[in-house]
Structure 1
């Protein structure tokens, strides 16, 4: 599912793989078109260590990796918060490296729908969602 996020320079993709679908119907990675970059994001919670991590991988239209940073998040966080923070980290990284045309891809349909104002932001991630949306205005549109 591809949904528009903000103006025409940022697209947001929810790449949800379902265990109930045959493998050939599950989403696969597709390169971005033109001068866009694709940023895939993900997060994981490690409850026993009371930590979480987020990952971002940036690829160009040929599928070549441009950057692939990760970041540790300390403190208790739920899966939804960590997914939202992964999207937040990707927007910040795009600003830091000067990427203005991008496609964000992650596996949290809740975060994607909140970012696109399709569904209300869950209370636990509302400040993160609002911050991402405010930061997106900094891109050259």
Structure 2
């Protein structure tokens, strides 16, 4: 179990469950259940699962525990499909963060994905970077985007802070939706949208219909892309290091109301962050 390719917190959770160290009441099992305890069930399945199923099995156990805590302490329930989707999202994001050599063979990825540094677009193309941030202590979240031209000059930057709790991937998808809406409203053409949320990129490129809140936002993004199909709009995944400016702005919006910055009115400290991308 300790060799599973999952986050350490997941291994720790499974170990605590297997050694009966989790702070829960002892449940009464159905007399038709062939397993008497979690460790008996997990050990049996572990022996017959391949490596991918072992990793996902552990992740789903962690996601169920997380869902249980949300219900007990915050009175927030989750649908089964959202529990499974959350496990997939966390695993994908953790693996991506751990892997310095991005694997272009990863599902629905291509050779243009995985940039580690921001690169100016070419010709008449503009580039829009999008990111999101979660602020648990203030019970809110934000998303932001920054649009720049082929010289790296700011076209427009926007951020929005919203009350409530959402999953990180939901906030990321909202940010992408905001970018696509902006492109449509502005009548922009030849736009590259960059995000460091690999799950959102995979979901947008996939033909699968996700029956979850995240899935509904993705469907709205897909519809906007259909509306923009003649405008040469593309979405790609980049590493966090290539998405620094949008990350900076999303984090900043926890202390600043919704904002719109253009080339004539953005603050001096923001110009330094913009300049760093060109070094």
1:63 maps to which of 139, 147, 152? 152
* Local SS of the residue matching 1:80: helix
TM-superposed CA distance for 1:26, in Å, is 6.8
The gaps in structure 2 that reach 5 residues or longer are 1-95, 102-113, 231-279
TM-superposed CA distance for 1:59, in Å, is 0.6
Partner of 2:204: 115
Aligned residues: 124
Normalised by the length of structure 1, the TM-score is 0.77
The gaps in structure 1 that reach 5 residues or longer are 1-16
Structure 1 residues 79 and 98, CA gap change in structure 2 (3 angstroms):
same
1:129 and 1:92 map into 2 onto residues whose CA distance is 13
Q: Which has the higher strand share?
A: 1
Partner of 2:165: 76
TM-superposed CA distance for 1:62, in Å, is 1.2
2:119 and 2:208 map into 1 onto residues whose CA distance is 26
Contact conserved, 1:100 with 1:140, CA < 8 A, in 2? no
Q: How does 1:1-141 map to 2 (within 5 A)?
A: 18=97, 21=100, 27-117=116-206, 121=210, 123-139=212-228, 141=230
Normalised by the length of structure 2, the TM-score is 0.41
Q: Which has the higher helix share?
A: 2
1:107-139 CA-partner distances (Å, limit 9, x unpaired): 100000111117764733101000011012222
Structure 1 residues 140 and 120, CA gap change in structure 2 (3 angstroms):
closer
2:116 and 2:132 map into 1 onto residues whose CA distance is 18
The 4+ residue runs of structure 1 with deviation greater than 4 A are 118-122
Instruction: Tell me how large the CA RMSD over aligned residues is.
Output: 2.4
2:194 and 2:164 map into 1 onto residues whose CA distance is 25
From the CA coordinates, give the structure whose radius of gyration is larger: 2
